Amino acid sequence: MKKVLIFCRSYYPHISGGGEISTQALAENLVSLGYEVKVITISSSYCKEVINNVFVERLKFKNIYWSYESSNSLIKKIIWHTIDANNIFIASILDEIIKKYNPDTVVSSTIEDISSILWKISKKNNCKVIHILRSYSLLCTNANMFKNNSNCLNRCLNCSLITLNKKFNSYYVDHVVGISNFILNKHLQFGYFKNAQNSVIHNICFDEEVEREKSPSNEFKIGYLGRIHPTKGIDMILESMQKLNDKNNLLFIAGKGDSEYIKYLHQNYSNIQSNFFFSGLQNAFEFIDGIDLLIVPSKWEEPFGRVVIEALSRNVPVAVKRVGGMPELLIDNEDFIFDDISGLVKIISDYKNNIIQFSFNLNSFRKDYIMKKWIDII
C-alpha cells in the first residue's frame, strides 16, 4: 500500500477550525484503509507521538512565530507572511523528512507555517504532490478575501506581491483538491496550479446519520452555530425575526467570539431580546438535535460549511446565504438559499408553515463516497 505524508499547520489537539478536524479525519480514514500515513505538523516544540494509529511528528516553527497560537503586530505579520511564502529556513528540514520517509504521495492539507516551498522540495524528491484548498491563504494575507465589510472581487497589490512565491510554487503541484467548486475556481481564476489536475472533494463531516421527526411544539427553534462575528451575518437572522414578529420563533446562538458584537446585537434588537439566547460553546450535534432549522447567513465567501453537513446528518434542515461554497451543499434545496433578509423571512415562514420541504440527500457527503475519491487520486 502507498506511503502518504500529510503536512499541515496544526494537528489534534491543536484545533482552531474545520481544517484541522478534516485533516485528522482524512489521516485516520487512510490508515483504516491500509495506507502508511504520517502527519508532519508545526508546533511550539519538537515531538513525536501516535494519535488514533496515526504517527504524528511535530516540528518546531521556523518563522518568527507559529501562526496557530500567536496574535502579533502588523509589522510582525508582514514579516511572517513574507517568510512563509517561500520559507528557506524550513526547506532543509522538509527535504530531510521527505528523504527519510520516502513517501509516494505528499499531501499539504493546510500550507501555512509549512510554506509552499514544500511543493518544490517534494517534486524534487519524485513524490506526487497534492494540495487541498481549505482557505484563501494562497491568495490573501488575511486568508478570507474580505475587506471593509465586503468580499474582494480582485486581489489588492499587497496580497498579490506577498503571495507571488506561493503562486510560482503552485506549478509543482500535481493535483489540487478544492473542498468546494467555488474555492477551486477562485484559485484557478487567479492563475494558480496551472500544471495540476483538479478535483472537488468535500470534507468528511459525520460518521453516522440520525433520523429525526419535525418537532410538534408551538415553539419554532432556529439555530446559529459558529463564530460570533459581524462577518457571520447573525444580524440578518435577528432582522428576519423582527419582520416576522412571531413570539414563538426562538433563536439559539451557539459559539464564541466578539464580545462587542454580542453587545451590539443585544442593544440593537432589544425589542425581541426575549426571543434570542446566547448558548456559548456547545457540542455541535447536541445543539443541532435541539433545533428545527439551522441558518448559516455568512456575509463573506466561506469556502465550505461543515456545520451544514453536520445538520443534514441529523435530519435538520438548513438555510444558507448565496455566497461562497455553501450553496453547492444545497443543490437539491434551492428554496432554502437566500440572497437577502426578505428571502430569509420567506424561508422561515414557508418552512414553518409546510409550504416548502427539505430534501435530505447525503450521498455525496458520506465517508465511503469521499474516501473513494481520495483513493482515486492518491
Q: Name the CATH code of domain 220-352 (choices 3.40.50.2000, 2.60.120.10, 2.130.10.10, 3.40.80.10).
A: 3.40.50.2000
The pTM of this model reads: 0.94
CA 307 to centroid of chain Cα atoms: 10
Q: Supply the pLDDT for residue 265.
A: 92
3-state secondary structure string, 295-323?
EECCCCCCCCCHHHHHHHHCCCCEEEECC
Q: Name the CATH code of domain 3-206+367-377 (choices 3.40.50.2000, 3.30.160.60, 3.40.50.620, 3.50.50.60).
A: 3.40.50.2000
Across-strand partners of 40?
7, 57
pLDDT tens string for the chain (378 positions)?
A: 899 999 999 999 999 888 899 999 999 999 999 999 999 999 999 999 999 999 999 999 999 999 998 678 899 999 999 999 999 999 999 999 999 999 999 999 999 999 999 999 999 999 999 999 999 999 999 999 999 889 999 999 999 999 999 999 999 999 999 999 999 999 999 999 999 999 999 999 988 777 766 666 789 999 999 999 999 999 999 999 999 999 999 999 999 888 889 999 999 998 888 899 999 999 999 999 999 999 999 999 999 999 999 999 999 999 999 999 999 999 999 999 999 999 999 999 999 999 999 999 898 999 999 999 999 999
Q: Supply the pLDDT for residue 45.
A: 96
Return the amino acid letter for 127: C
DSSP 8-state assignment for residue 114: T
DSSP states of 73-109: -HHHHHHHHHHHTT-HHHHHHHHHHHHHH--SEEEES
Q: Supply the pLDDT for residue 214.
A: 64
Q: Supply the pLDDT for residue 17.
A: 81
Helix (H, G, I), strand (E, B) or coil at 174: coil
Domains 3-206+367-377 and 220-352 share a fold: yes
CA distance 289 to 364: 22
Q: Which residues of 318-339 are buried (b: 16+ CB within 10 A; e: fewer)?
A: bbbbebbbbbbbbeebebbbbe
- 76 phi and psi, to 5 degrees? -65, -40
Q: Supply the pLDDT for residue 213.
A: 67
Using one digit for the tens of pLDDT, what is the confidence trace for 294-348? 999 999 999 999 999 999 999 999 999 999 999 999 999 999 999 999 999 999 9
Q: Supply the pLDDT for residue 215.
A: 63
CA 143 to centroid of chain Cα atoms: 11
Q: Which residue has the cell 507555517?
A: 113
| Alpha-carbon separation of residue 8 from 61, 131, 132, 144, 373 (angstroms) | 12, 10, 10, 18, 20
Residue ranges covered by each domain of the chain: 3-206+367-377, 220-352
| Alpha-carbon separation of residue 130 from 87, 108, 141, 181, 197 (angstroms) | 19, 6, 22, 17, 9
Across-strand partners of 120?
none
